[in-house]
């Protein structure tokens, strides 16, 4: 009995420590530990060839800047070529020793699956290899579950899931042949916990975890790493272009500078910490989202009970610093 009592105390103390940690830091314990005591990111990423999708704004743009700061050569892809050129100009401006030849602007529509192989061929023609693929392209959603048109579900899964899978399948044989490489995927805190008023988005991110957890297990020992990045609320154009209940519609809301969100720069920094340290998964968020993440991981039943008491409106406010569903669009 004494051993069991001691074990119970240790488990309780560990849980309390994790919950306190979640209230104080902006990522999970492993990610923060690696940031403080892990590998030197610059030494790991210097001269690496990194392909970033969804790189025209937000987290993708910040990732491009951070990769170049660490001496990487980058490929930036998105549909908007003008925006990509703007990102390239910003990189060359803010990083004094960066070179134009280290940045390949590669416009690509992720949902045009036939273009993936052609684009990858351009990457190899330019740099000769690919070391890291960061699947960052995706779209969020603000919608009521029961009113969502099935075509919205199909469209979001095409972009958030199937395009990511297809591009990875194009790239993976190259990495397996070289016995090295990293496939990173920008998932979301919604990939771990059900987010209200984002049923399709949440489902797509849960699907991403299923696909890539399976891939990680299947390719263990091959030299190819799988890294799932789970950001919480982050400043970006996310709300403006988010899907709604109606096919082809954009939510069209803007984030406020006073919102409780992580900067895209900080999110990019922590993402690269996770990639450089070969982490399986990284939670990139702060209180109260981080607390929900830990509770859901170690006490899922209790978390679901708490969320049912808190209610969807307060949960939505925690996510967006307001209840975005109070928009007249959904009245």
Catalytic residues, by residue number, are 201
Distance, in Å, from the CA atom of 184 to the CA atom of 215, rounded to the nearest integer, reads: 12
Distance, in Å, from the CA atom of 175 to the CA atom of 106, rounded to the nearest integer, reads: 20
Contacts of 31 (CB under 8 A, 6+ apart): 270, 273, 274, 279, 282, 283, 284
**Two tokens at 291?**
């607390």
The residue among 174, 151, 150, 154 whose CA lies nearest residue 162 is: 154
**Two tokens at 93?**
């401006």
Distance, in Å, from the CA atom of 244 to the CA atom of 329, rounded to the nearest integer, reads: 10
Query: Cβ(238)–Cβ(136) under 8 Å?
Result: no
**Two tokens at 51?**
């392909």
**Two tokens at 29?**
């314990």
Contacts of 266 (CB under 8 A, 6+ apart): 26
Max distance between CA atoms of the chain, in angstroms, equals 68
Strand 73-77 relative to strand 49-53: parallel, antiparallel, unpaired? parallel
H helix runs in the chain, sequence order: 2-24, 29-37, 41-45, 58-69, 81-94, 115-127, 150-157, 163-178, 199-218, 238-241, 264-276, 289-298, 300-310, 312-320
DSSP 8-state secondary structure symbol assigned to residue 145: G
| 19: three-class secondary structure by DSSP | helix
Residue 287 has a CB neighbour count (10 Å cut-off) of 16
């Amino acid at each position: 009995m004494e051993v069991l009592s001691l074990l119970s105390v240790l488990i309780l103390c560990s849980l309390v420590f994790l919950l306190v940690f979640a209230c104080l830091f902006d990522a999970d314990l492993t990610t923060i530990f690696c940031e403080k005591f892990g590998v030197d990111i610059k030494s790991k990423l210097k001269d690496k060839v990194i392909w970033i999708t969804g790189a025209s704004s937000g987290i993708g743009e910040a990732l491009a800047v951070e990769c170049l700061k660490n001496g990487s050569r980058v490929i930036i892809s998105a549909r908007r070529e003008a925006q990509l050129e703007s990102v390239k100009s910003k990189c060359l401006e803010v990083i004094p020793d960066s070179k134009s030849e280290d940045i390949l602007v590669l416009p690509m529509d992720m949902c045009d699956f036939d273009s993936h192989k052609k684009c990858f061929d351009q990457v190899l023609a330019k740099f000769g290899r690919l070391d890291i693929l960061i699947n960052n392209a995706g779209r969020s959603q603000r919608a009521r579950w029961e009113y969502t048109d099935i075509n919205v579900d199909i469209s979001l899964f095409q972009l958030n899931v199937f395009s990511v899978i297809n591009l990875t399948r194009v790239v993976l044989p190259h990495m397996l042949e070289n016995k090295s490489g990293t496939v990173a995927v920008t998932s979301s805190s919604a990939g771990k916990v059900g987010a209200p008023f984002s049923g399709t988005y949440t489902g797509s991110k849960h699907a991403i975890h299923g696909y890539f957890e399976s891939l990680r297990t299947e390719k263990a020992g091959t030299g190819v790493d799988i890294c799932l990045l789970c950001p919480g609320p982050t400043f970006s154009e996310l709300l403006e272009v988010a899907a709604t209940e109606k096919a082809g519609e954009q939510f069209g809301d803007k984030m406020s500078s006073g919102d409780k969100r992580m900067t895209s720069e900080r999110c990019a920094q922590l993402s690269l910490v996770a990639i450089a340290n070969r982490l399986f998964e990284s939670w990139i968020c702060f209180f109260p989202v981080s607390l929900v993440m830990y509770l859901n991981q170690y006490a899922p039943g209790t978390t679901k009970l708490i969320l049912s008491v808190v209610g969807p409106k307060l949960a939505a406010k925690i996510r967006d610093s307001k209840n975005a569903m109070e928009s007249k669009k959904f009245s």
